[in-house]
A and B are shown apart, each in its own frame.
Chain A
């Protein structure tokens, strides 16, 4: 352990911690935009700047190791002034349309502008970007007029999904997140996992599927396991008025031990079937070439009866069960148990072996 002084308080922290980690563990709030504990560090938003005694420049706390004996101020007047200027510089490029923004209430930039009292930007003269926002894909809305260039999306795409669909193009004020040759996502290596949406601190990247269906403060988040496959990813169903209106990530180790919030296109965007009128909600029995609705008892009785007849007539090995990789592990376990213990055959397989 090493000892340092933050805002006049003596604090102990493990050797190797950053200043930011030390502050977070001690309950000292430090604003961050580009920092994400699951991503490679960037140190670029400069919101987490602090003053370290004896150092001529401000240091970015997210990338600066805590050192024994450091004397740190996290909220000195100079630091607050610098953060305000940075927020104002970003405000001069950010398209504030919070009233219709999907991220209203769940936006770090909005929170910091509120916290630091940034109503207008002193730097607003010209130079506002007017990027087109049409990207004809069904999942991701990309509005770079709201982008604050934290590059969390780029790092998530590279570090978590390893798709490397996006990066920064151009320099300086014209730097912009872009696919290769700034084309559509569908023509890029993008797999529409939406990890970029998960990490975006503002409303630049949002889900088209959830658009207009509810704000973060209107929904109840129900932690559950994705049923699309056997991986067992945890996700949060966003429920409003008893309807699923979106999926968000729980990124804690406890809440999401398998995937730490990362999802695939199906888990993140493929939930609209839940309330689809086309969805089967009762068993169907085929009679004379026509389906009719039936109760579960009736349907299961019929299946049990017919399987029993086949087994009696042709033997258990005349039956095989073919399961799927696209169900949960628990369901596959039950399927093989049922096949072996109930039907009495080892003829069980599933599509992942094809």
Chain B
């Protein structure tokens, strides 16, 4: 059986998250000290060498992202802890178990891009995490480990779209949470139009180990194109509904049947949705795919945030996709036409299919709308929203056909 490999969750349940002394005793803040002894360019080169790719969903090379940041008097490091993706609780887990690791990762990034101000944008539904983080920041500040790097916490108001980095920036600035067009990318013009690196919690949390053990070590773990580990959060009809941290060459089958302990109640597997609500639905035939972002993309799915929603044989795919469509209809910010109106119409058509009132023409219409949204929407929300529809139309076509009005 495949084994867990813990990097970002290494200290989980081993230390008291409310005591910085525990973290320091476990080797904490040595990496920041080492990073600060390095030239910035060398530090960025090391992170590039690790091939660490963003753990928030988009999977962009973190070192590369940092290297685009121009010289400027004011720059910001922003941590995305919005974690609005249903079924995802990895960032919360990382921070709850080991908040200092996040702070250390952010400070390492701060040194790399020459910034002394960090913001953590925390999901509004995690008020206790905000409290924990503020205590952790106070401890780090008074013990002096952060040096001149300052970190503040900002709370979200519950909008899913604010997990999108530019909408997140708008929200921190006090504006309506709507994405900006890109370019300019935040690395060049982000928070208050200053160069800003936005990374996910898990991305930052990997940095201390990359700095201590070297980029080459990290790059050798898991799949070479997306190395390291990934924290996955198991939900749905799986025996073990737990967070796990596994190398990225672990297969979906291993995730569900080894770590997850298989399907609940002795039932059969039907489908799994990975990466969050916009993730593709994966049928049994593709379960031997490794979980790394590229392998997932090759089968029309995503790794995304690492949420793993398992569905057993009794689950109604059409009903689930209808509920997912409702989610996107509710969470579309309304800025761009294809998402604002498209998510509404997609939900309308899915409801019709779900009620058994749809004709074959409705399926064509839904496929057309989904295709256009994927390529035409302003941000990732609208582009990814049709994913569950398109993948279930491909892999579970029979369920759609069976529901049509004859």
Contact = CB atoms under 8 A, between A and B. Distances in A.
Contacts of A65: 183
Contacts of A49: 376
Nearest to B383: A57
Interface residues of A, number: 40
Contacts of A42: 181, 335
Interface stretch (A5-13, A165-173, A286-294): A165-173
A172 B346 CA distance: 13
Contacts of B343: 172-173
Contacts of B339: 172
Nearest to B178: A168
Contact of B340 (A43, A126, A175): A175
Contacts of A123: 341, 345, 348, 365, 369
Given A85-B369, A175-B334, A57 B375 contact: yes
B332 A125 contact: no
Contact of A46 (B176, B329, B332, B338): B338
B372 A171 contact: no
Given A44-B378, A82-B375, A170 B334 contact: yes
B330 interface: yes
B60 interface: no
A56 B178 CA distance: 23
Interface string B88-126: 000000000000000000000000000000000000000
Interface in B317-340: 329-340
B342 interface: yes
B271 interface: no
Interface in A171-189: 171-175
B377 interface: yes
A41 B336 CA distance: 13
Nearest to A127: B344
Contacts of A125: 345, 348-349, 352
B381 to A, nearest CB: 10
B330 A171 contact: yes
Interface in A38-61: 41-47, 49, 56-58, 60
A151 to B, nearest CB: 8
Dominant SS at the B interface? helix
B352 A44 contact: no
> Contact residue range for chain B?
35 or more
A151 B175 CA distance: 15
Interface in B142-161: 159
A305 interface: no
Contact of A171 (B332, B341, B375, B383): B332
Interface string B184-224: 00000000000000000000000000000000000000000
B49 to A, nearest CB: 27
Given A89-B342, A123-B369, A172-B329, A82 B334 contact: no
A82 B330 contact: no
Contact of B337 (A58, A90, A126): A90
Interface centre among A45, A149, A170, A172 (most CB of B within 10 A): A172
The dominant DSSP class at the A interface is loop
A58 B365 contact: no
Contacts of B340: 149, 172-173, 175
B113 to A, nearest CB: 23
B298 to A, nearest CB: 14
A173 B334 contact: yes
A168 B335 CA distance: 9
A168 B176 contact: yes
Nearest to B181: A43
Interface string A128-165: 00000000000000000000110100000000000000
Given A92-B345, A123-B369, 5 more contacts: A58-B376, A89-B342, A122-B365, A170-B334, A173-B334
Interface of A: 41-47, 49, 56-58, 60, 63-65, 78, 81-82, 85-86, 89-90, 92-93, 122-123, 125-127, 148-149, 151, 167-168, 170-175
Interface of B: 159, 176, 178, 181, 183, 329-345, 348-349, 352, 365, 368-369, 372, 374-378, 383
Closest 6 A/B residue pairs (Cβ)? A175-B334, A89-B341, A43-B181, A172-B332, A173-B344, A63-B181
21 contacts: A42-B181, A46-B337, A46-B377, A57-B376, A60-B181, A60-B378, A64-B183, A85-B376, A86-B372, A90-B337, A93-B341, A123-B369, A125-B345, A125-B348, A149-B334, A171-B334, A172-B329, A173-B341, A173-B343, A175-B334, A175-B340
